[in-house]
């Protein structure tokens, strides 16, 4: 890393090396050359260029080196056109075929097809990472499907759920994300070979019909939009950004919930914390949830990028304007690298998630009886009591107990309800006591959690695949 000039954190801090390679300068130029070779191959099949010329391009296609890129950048400083600069360097390397590179093409015939190939590869990496996360999370759902825990609505204690059922909410979101990412990935298309304004006029001068485009696309293994301007529809970038933002949204909720649950007053979940990890420069005791915070931070960035893509599509006036070019250089790689990083971090958090059953039991003991009063109310009403009268009676007990609990005293609710003569007229004290135990008041949450986890594992395969 050059420490004397700005370096993007995405070039070394965030994202995997595999994703960085896809968005690297070298790989972009390799894809450009691959598109040029596909075009030359199509033209060779039609007798427009010779076999020797097409083979010469293929022979030198991989010769993208630090030296060749430096040479291309030197040329670009003079002509102010990055693709033409690479074309000249490629031509210099091809003594036989250099003169026929780019025949009939416009720049976006090369760049947009290369971008489509790159988007497809990057989406496939995201699919693979998302699949790993779903598999890891599904196994964690199964592990904790039956463990009761206090649920919170409005950030207030509500009724019991299970740890596995709460985790299943995140799993369900991510399964929807996987469906969307796969759908968008499978529908990615290139511009094809249609020339300066999408009419294919230049190619029609060289060969009849769509024969050049059809052959070149077959060589690339790429489908194309049937109608384009100078570029492929920028709506495609917007769809890609939305799919990535959907993943970011799901991970944001998980990470934010984890940060709340890791707060010591609750203390039920925590992200892994290394033996030598430092939480604060000033406070040696701190165990900050830095990984969950990183997910939230990167997700905020990804969340705004669909708007940039929206503007690019909406503001591409008539057959093309260039005001999308500069921001796409940053928007596309940064969105993919940010989501790539978030998926990797989330997978590590889920795999090593610390679930403190002692703290969970403490919270249940403190607040569970309040939730279980619903069971008591239904039982005494079935036994013949007036539901409205009993609701008010139980409410008064609950308010008094809440005041005691807020003052730091033990929760007296179960004892006070079981000692209420009006309640015990309809139900025995021991039965009331059993009903007020909230541990089993989780409905069918355990089975629903297991069913979803099993379905997820069928969808993505088990961990030993």
Q: Give the separation between CA 182 and CA 375, rounded to whole angstroms.
A: 44
- The alpha carbon of 182 is separated from its chain's Cα centroid by a whole number of angstroms, namely 12
Catalytic residue among 80, 154, 281, 406: 154
Helix, strand or coil for residue 330? helix
CB 150 within 8 A of CB 367: yes
CB 248 within 8 A of CB 211: no
Catalytic residue among 8, 280, 325, 463: 280
Q: Give the helix/strand (H/E) hosting 270.
A: strand 269-270
Active site residue 280: yes
Structure tokens at 379: 């039982």
For residue 103, what are the contacts with CB-CB under 8 A and spacing of at least 6?
A: 39, 40, 43, 48, 49, 206
Other CB atoms within 10 A of residue 234 CB: 20
What 307-313 contacts at long range (C-beta under 8 Å, 24+ apart), as own/partner pairs, is: 308/241, 309/234, 309/237, 309/238, 309/240, 309/241, 309/242, 310/238, 312/234, 312/237, 312/238, 313/233, 313/234, 313/235, 313/237, 313/238
- The alpha carbon of 161 is separated from its chain's Cα centroid by a whole number of angstroms, namely 26
C-alpha pair distances (Å), 27 with each of 33, 81, 451: 10, 18, 43
Catalytic residues: 154, 280
């Amino acid at each position: 890393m050059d420490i004397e000039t700005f370096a993007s954190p995405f070039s070394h801090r965030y994202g995997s090396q595999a994703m960085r390679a896809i968005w690297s300068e070298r790989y972009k130029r390799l894809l450009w050359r691959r598109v040029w070779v596909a075009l030359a191959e199509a033209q060779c099949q039609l007798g427009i260029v010779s076999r020797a010329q097409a083979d010469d391009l293929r022979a030198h296609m991989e010769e993208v080196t630090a030296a060749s890129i430096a040479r291309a950048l030197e040329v670009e400083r003079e002509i102010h056109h990055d693709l033409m600069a690479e074309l000249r360097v490629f031509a210099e390397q091809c003594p036989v075929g250099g003169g026929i590179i780019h025949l009939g093409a416009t720049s976006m015939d090369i760049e947009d097809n290369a971008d489509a190939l790159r988007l497809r590869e990057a989406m496939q990496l995201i699919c693979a990472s998302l699949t790993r996360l779903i598999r890891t999370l599904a196994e964690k759902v199964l592990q904790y499907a039956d463990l009761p825990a206090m649920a919170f609505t409005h950030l207030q204690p509500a009724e019991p759920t299970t740890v596995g059922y709460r985790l299943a909410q995140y799993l369900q979101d991510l399964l929807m994300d996987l469906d969307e990412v796969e759908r968008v990935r499978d529908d990615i298309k290139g511009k094809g070979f249609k020339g300066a304004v999408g009419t294919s006029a230049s190619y029609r001068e060289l060969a009849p019909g769509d024969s050049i485009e059809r052959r070149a696309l077959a060589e690339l293994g790429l489908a194309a939009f049937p109608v384009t301007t100078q570029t492929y529809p920028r709506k495609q970038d917007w769809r890609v950004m939305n799919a990535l933002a959907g993943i970011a949204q799901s991970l944001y909720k998980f990470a934010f919930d984890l940060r709340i649950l890791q707060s010591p007053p609750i203390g039920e979940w925590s992200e892994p914390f290394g033996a030598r990890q430092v939480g604060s420069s000033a406070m040696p005791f701190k165990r900050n949830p830095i990984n969950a915070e990183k997910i939230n931070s990167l997700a905020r960035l990804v969340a705004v990028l669909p708007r940039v893509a929206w503007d690019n599509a909406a503001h591409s006036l008539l057959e093309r304007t260039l005001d999308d070019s500069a921001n796409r250089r940053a928007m596309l790689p940064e969105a993919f690298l940010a989501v790539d990083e978030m998926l990797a971090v989330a997978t590590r958090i889920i795999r090593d998630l610390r679930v403190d059953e002692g703290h969970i039991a403490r919270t249940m003991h403190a607040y569970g009886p309040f939730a279980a009063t619903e069971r008591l109310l239904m039982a005494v009403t079935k036994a013949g009591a007036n539901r409205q009268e009993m609701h008010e009676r139980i409410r008064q007990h609950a308010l008094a107990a809440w005041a005691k609990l807020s003052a730091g005293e033990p929760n007296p609710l179960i004892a006070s309800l079981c000692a209420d003569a009006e309640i015990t007229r309809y139900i025995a004290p021991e039965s009331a006591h059993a009903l007020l135990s909230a541990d089993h008041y989780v409905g069918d949450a355990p089975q629903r959690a297991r069913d979803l986890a099993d379905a997820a594992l069928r969808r993505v395969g088990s961990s030993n695949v």
